[in-house]
Amino acid sequence: MVATLFTTGLVAAPAQPRPVVEAKTTPLSADVAAQGWARRVDTGIDAEMIGFDWAGRTPGEMQMRVRHQVGWSDWMHVEGGVDEGPDPDSPEHNARTSAGPVWVGDDIRDVEVRVDHGRLRDLQMHAIDSEEVAGFGARPAGAAVEQPGIITRSQWGADESWRTVAPDCDGKPRYATTVRNAIVHHTASSNTYSRGDAAAAMRGIYYFHTHTNQWCDIGYNFVVDRYGQVFEGRAGGIDRAVIGAHAGGFNTGSTGVALLGSFQDSALPADAYTSLVSLLSWKLSLHDVPADGTVTVTSAGSSRYPSGTQVTLPTISGHRDVSATLCPGDLVYGRLGQLRTDVRARQMSAALQFSFGDPDDLPLMCDWDGNGTDTPGVFRRGRFYLRNDGPDVWAFHYGNAADVPLCGDWDGNGTDTVGVKRGGTWYLRNRNSTGIADVSLRYGSPGDTPVTGDWDGNGTDTVGVKRGGTWYLRDRNTTGIADLKFDYGTAEDVPVTGDWNSSGMDDVGFRRGITWHLRG
């Protein structure tokens, strides 16, 4: 289990004027538009986004370009897949296939489109005007520990009334029992948008998904733009297992993250990748999902796996792993292995972050209950506070406020217990409770730094000190001379001990700055 500390509250956005989204639908072909079909058309409005849909659940591909003031743009690939949406048994499933919408720039009127693949019946074009409105901007929400800044729906201008536009949509989110995996997408749209355009693009996608596709909300759970801004997608709670409409047949139990842009031939920007790592490490850790694991799920029916098929997937996969599609693009799909590694590294780092004790407490880490796992403790002015694998903490007095706290398995019974060093005297106790020392001995000088460990591998921890750059280790908890003496490091180095090579006996090391030096 990955242990994380987080909060799910977001900073409330101030009241904002509602952004206006205008759309116009233009019929392109009442008959079948097949390969080679082409048409130039006026959008009818000053559009920023263009999308298409056609009758039936049939895939299709087309090319599109638009006229800017300086001339025609390059051709843009637009793909419509039958799995880009809800699960087949979802109430928001419809009888048409869509492609897009694609961000095309500001105030576009002229569009040229041609069909590359498929037989598209009753083809329609949807032009969307979703310019930025004064007073609206992409402002990140307050980020909690382990959670990236996430731009909330209210902050990017989601009109919540759209969640009831389509038939059978009551505006209520649907939930799975938990999140088991993440699926990465790209929106297959232009990469030339500005930072300020991203919120407008979110509104355009949301409008297209609810009004054209007749879904109950935007399909993706999260969207990450090329600048690294992270947007809340489908409503229902960023910390909950909201069922999206991003990978038909595999939505339940997955979280869908879309990268705003097209990454078949263009590389993912570094800022977007960094935010993707941050988002997935937080979201998957929240649901105890290791980024380098696998999960076996049952398909509800997709273009790649018939309904009822058992499919084993990486816990971070691409849309093409479950559907017949190019999504999330070759240049993102080829980085998913590294993405899993980077997300898991951050998860493991997060697993070592927790709140316990006060800043001035002296920390310890030992196996207090003998279960083989070290857990934290602190020493505060003559009182120990110890914690096992859970929230419960027990406390007891032992030693004086100025003592140096210790812990180790002094009697070889498999359980670590406390001790203190006072000047040159050690007081070791075989139970984690208030009482007198079971063993007391003089060893070393008051200014020495104490260390403890099983130096000879006999199962019992014994005492040692570091004086300057010299180590003095003893194999018995009695007064006497060192059994081992050697020089390693300098007086300023911080000593550490542990079994670095699984030899059964503890070794020494030190930390100098941020560099660790471990010796066998």
Look at residue 15 and tell me if it is in a domain. no
Look at residue 346 and tell me if it is in a domain. yes
Q: How would residue 351 be classed by pLDDT, with cut points 50, 70 and 90?
A: low
Last-in-domain residue among 350, 383, 405 = 350
| Contacts for 14 with CB less than 8 Å, ≥ 6 apart | none
Are the CB atoms for 258 and 222 separated by under 8 Å? Answer: yes
pLDDT digits (tens, 9 = 90+) for 84-93: 778 888 888 7
Q: What is the CATH number of the domain that holds 223?
A: 3.40.80.10
Are the CB atoms for 207 and 21 separated by under 8 Å? Answer: yes
Last-in-domain residue among 325, 350, 375 = 350
Residue 345 sits in the same domain as residue 427: no
Q: How would residue 354 be classed by pLDDT, with cut points 50, 70 and 90?
A: low
Residue matched to tokens 């843009």: 76
27 forms beta bridges with: 124
Look at residue 139 and tell me if it is in a domain. no
Residue 360 sits in the same domain as residue 344: no
| Contacts for 293 with CB less than 8 Å, ≥ 6 apart | 314, 315
Q: Which pLDDT score, from 0 to 100, does residue 288 have?
A: 83
Are the CB atoms for 50 and 108 separated by under 8 Å? Answer: yes
Q: Which domain holds residue 64?
A: 22-129
Q: Which two tokens stand for residue 437?
A: 């020392």
Q: Which of 175, 176, 182 is nearest to 290 (CA)?
A: 182
Q: Which of 217, 202, 213 is nearest to 160 (CA)?
A: 217
Per-position b or e across 343-358, b if 16+ CB within 10 A of its CB: bbebbeebeeeeeebe
Look at residue 269 and tell me if it is in a domain. yes
Question: Would you say residue 10 has pLDDT above 80?
Answer: no
Look at residue 427 and tell me if it is in a domain. yes
Q: Which two tokens stand for residue 312?
A: 């084993």
Q: Which of 404, 367, 383, 368 is nearest to 499 (CA)?
A: 367
Residue 325 sits in the same domain as residue 236: yes
Q: How many domains does the chain have?
A: 4
Distance of CA 94 to the CA centre of its chain: 31
pLDDT digits (tens, 9 = 90+) for 135-182: 434 333 332 236 889 999 999 999 999 999 999 899 999 999 999 999
> Which comes out higher in pLDDT, residue 263 or 10?
263
Radius of gyration of the chain (CA): 31
Are the CB atoms for 435 and 420 separated by under 8 Å? Answer: no
Q: Which pLDDT score, from 0 to 100, does residue 83 have?
A: 78
Residue 189 sits in the same domain as residue 316: yes
Q: Which two tokens stand for residue 457?
A: 């591998």
53 forms beta bridges with: 98, 124
Last-in-domain residue among 350, 368, 390 = 350
Q: Which of 351, 366, 347 is nearest to 409 (CA)?
A: 366
Judging by DSSP bridges, how do beta strands 38-55 and 120-129 pair with one another?
antiparallel
Q: Provide φ and ψ at 330, rounded to 5°.
A: -60, -35
Across 137-141, 412-416, 513-517, least confident range? 137-141
pLDDT digits (tens, 9 = 90+) for 118-135: 999 999 999 999 866 444
